[in-house]
Amino acid sequence: MMRQYELVERVQRYKPEVNEALLNKAYVYAMNKHGGQTRASGDPYFSHPLEVAAILTDMNMDENTIAVALLHDTIEDTSATRVEIEKLFGEDTARLVDGLTKLKKLDLISKKAAQAENLRKLLLAIADDVRVLLVKLADRLHNMRTLDHVSEDKRFRIAEETMEIYAPLAGRMGMQDMREELEDLAFRYINPEGYNIVKQRLVQLAEFNKDTLAEISTTLTTLLADNGIHASVKSRQKKAWSVFRKMESKGLSFEQLSDIFGFRIIVDDEDDCYRALGIVHRKWTMVPGRFKDYISTPKSNDYRSIHTTIVGPSKQRVELQIRSKKMHEIAEYGVATHAIYKDMPLTIDEEPSEKTNGKSDSYAFRDTNAYAWLRHTIESLSEGDNPEEFLENTKLELFHDQVFCFTPKGRLIALPRGAIPVDFAYAVHTDVGNSCVGAKINGRIMPLVTQLQNGDEVEVIRSAAAAPPAAWETIVVTGKARSAIRRATRLAVRKQYAGLGNRILERAFSRAGKPFSKEILKDGLEDLAFKDADDLLAAVGRGELSSTNVLKAIHNDFRSDKDTAPPHPELMGEGWFNLSNATGMMFKFPEKAEGDEVHKDQTLSIRGASGDLPVRFSPEGAVPGDRIIGIATPGKGLTIYPIQSPALAAYDDQPERWIDVRWDIDAANRTRFKVQIVVTAINAPGSLAEIATLVADNDVNIHTLSMVRTAPDFTEMVFDLEVWDIKHLNRLLSQLRESGAVSTAERRNG
Ligand code: MN
């Protein structure tokens, strides 16, 4: 096992002014915490974090990252806590170790190949820092190197996961060596037979070509030295996995593969690359069509090198890669290299960054976008002054608008950020959402409004009898949940209307001295053109059909009071006139004075509306507490809509116009906001007086009141009100609904 001072020395080799105390402290702490724990191999457990740290020293990582590597398993596997680590090593280190602890959850999930892409996203979403990923990859590499010791089925699962998730990730981070080694190790456990065959052939071939290769190596070294080029020449053999993959994908036999052997020529600088190339081409014949200059045209992951294939002395083809030391480090360690050279020339693609149109599915790792985020980290390097600062700025901003959660069975559910357990329930299945009454998050019962975090395991608590409360529509964030709640609400509302219709008809029939039952209604269905009694009841409840007409349809001899007397004279209370004739009437109420001003400078109350963009509110109005969306109109500014506004549907296909805005209310300077409600009053003596009193008692200003529709049994009226916020409004609405004078009370926006 590596000693404490050996580790420090390794780091000192590339970073002489290393913070030794930090490394020593982390070494001792992790060693003590892991204590007598052992690995499957029987080795002391501490040998593992130590090896992970060693892998990272090969990548010249800074001491903070090395310390994180030493500590990476302590929170999960020992008595160490985040709080303790924060106290001893600072907030930054604690955050990174915590990130690695969260990633460990991933290892416990059963996986299907179809989910590999999602899992990669989750991995990136949880590891919100490049350093966490670097340590995780080193961790995985060491685990793969020591995989022999774990049980066979576990071995296969880990190898498969490495092949599907970690190796591609290393590749995407520009770490080719890491990728190749991970692939090769995984191949060995996934397809042992294939691995052994290819490996054997490679060994035979290497043995057979030993002398020729040695000859080429010597010739190259001397030739370059004679021409004054300082170079190191290393032979390299293709890895078993890449040979196997090439044979599979191109349908080639082993013998048909041409470039199993190669040399890497590493020189001091770019000029020497081209000089070396000239020397090589003059000495040996080059194979046409195999020459590639990635120095003048780097690959999108910053890879730079010259590739050429020559015909060797025994007529075998040999691939040569010529590059400078810096190019070599980038090719090997990818993103990690950027920590080493602060003056490294950067090659950032100038192509415009991909359009993020809000919530598209552009997260898929298409090759063209694979480096978008890497580019981002490179850009932050170009802004920072030193490598440390670069690593400080390596927060990944991937998928920051998504969260990934799990069902208890391990199914991965992707949701927009801000989603709550109700969204989760609907994402699993509409029935699950409709019957959701509670949720356990990571095993604990939590409020249904809790915002879900990455990696949360959510168990939905269901009740067969439940129906989703309509109010959920305003707290969920996914469209699926919203529309399902609306649908369920509509059904429930219909049921309510039918109940109300029932009440109205009961009363009307008894006033007329007729017996009433649902059975009796069947006699009138045909005349009134209704399918069934429930439809008829709901129509009466909604005021589309009057009780008088129902009576007439069933009892031919029925004559209504209306034929002789004005309808419901009892509604004409003191100061209020007959509602039945009030359609189209509008009442204006005096503005209240002092401190009750309606909000005027509405830009001030909205955050997220940048600069001096004019802001106005949609006709539906929004009040503080509403979830709101700003719709940008070129040249006109921003219009604020409550999220439930049906008018938003018109902008569904223009996601670029959706602006995320938030309330920014000054508690000291509260103002009122306009809102419209629709109240259906049951025509009964004193109804309107009762409603008006309720509104006034709730400290709500009435701006205008219009009677929009009257029917013998109902009057529908629209109130323009001024309220403080959503709580204020909801309190009024629920009191109205309780009132005997009111059939329904709804906010007007669907
Ligand atoms: Mn580990």
How many Cβ atoms sit within 10 Å of the Cβ of residue 339? 24
One-letter-per-residue 3-state SS of 141-192: HHHHHCHHHCCHHHHHHHHHHHHHHHHHHHHHCCCHHHHHHHHHHHHHHHCH
Q: How many angstroms separate the CA atoms of 309 and 290, rounded?
A: 6
Contact 15, 60 (CB under 8 A): yes
Element (H, E) at 734: helix 726-738
How many Cβ atoms sit within 10 Å of the Cβ of residue 60? 20
**Mean pLDDT throughout 162-169?**
82
Q: Which residues pair with 267 in a beta bridge?
A: 231, 324
The bridge status of strand 317-324 relative to strand 261-267 is parallel
**Among all chains, which residue has been given the structure tokens 């899992």?**
119
For residue 527, indicate whether it is catalytic: no
How far does residue 699's CA lie from ligand 1's centre (Å)?
61
pLDDT at position 29 is 96
Tell me the C-alpha to C-alpha distance, in Å, between residue 160 and each of 25, 103, 330, 335, 693. 36, 17, 27, 24, 70
How far does residue 665's CA lie from ligand 1's centre (Å)?
47
Q: Name residues whose C-beta falls within 8 Å of residue 520's C-beta, 6 or more positions apart in sequence.
A: 554
pLDDT at position 527 is 83
Question: Quick one: which of 336, 337, 342, 288 has its CA closest to 311?
Answer: 288
Contact 185, 147 (CB under 8 A): yes
Q: Which of 308-322, 630-644, 696-710 has the highest mean pLDDT?
A: 308-322
Domains in the chain (CATH in brackets) are 4-190 (1.10.3210.10), 196-336 (3.30.460.10), 565-664 (no CATH), 673-747 (3.30.70.260)
Q: Which residues pair with 705 in a beta bridge?
A: 587, 719
Q: Name residues whose C-beta falls within 8 Å of residue 400's C-beta, 6 or more positions apart in sequence.
A: 125, 417
**Mean pLDDT throughout 265-276?**
94
How far does residue 30's CA lie from ligand 1's centre (Å)?
12
pLDDT at position 377 is 43
Coil, helix or strand for 715? strand
More confident residue, 274 or 618: 274
How far does residue 169's CA lie from ligand 1's centre (Å)?
17
For residue 76, indicate whether it is catalytic: yes
Band the pLDDT of 246: cuts 50, 70, 90: confident
Average pLDDT value over all residues in the chain: 77
pLDDT at position 467 is 77
Checking if the pLDDT of 6 tops 60, the result is: yes
How far does residue 341's CA lie from ligand 1's centre (Å)?
28
pLDDT at position 598 is 43
How far does residue 31's CA lie from ligand 1's centre (Å)?
14
pLDDT at position 396 is 47
pLDDT at position 46 is 95
Q: How many angstroms separate the CA atoms of 501 and 503, rounded?
A: 5
pLDDT at position 181 is 93
Active-site residue among 9, 20, 76, 177?
A: 76
How far does residue 122's CA lie from ligand 1's centre (Å)?
19
Element (H, E) at 600: none
Active-site residue among 20, 43, 77, 259?
A: 77
**Mean pLDDT throughout 58-77?**
90
Question: Quick one: which of 366, 317, 319, 412 has its CA closest to 119?
Answer: 412
How far does residue 73's CA lie from ligand 1's centre (Å)?
5
Instruction: Write the DSSP assignment of 208-243 as a string of letters.
Output: HTHHHHHHHHHHHHHHHHHTT--EEEEEEE--HHHH
Band the pLDDT of 733: cuts 50, 70, 90: very high
- 83-102: pLDDT as tens digits: 999 999 998 889 889 888 87
Element (H, E) at 641: strand 637-642
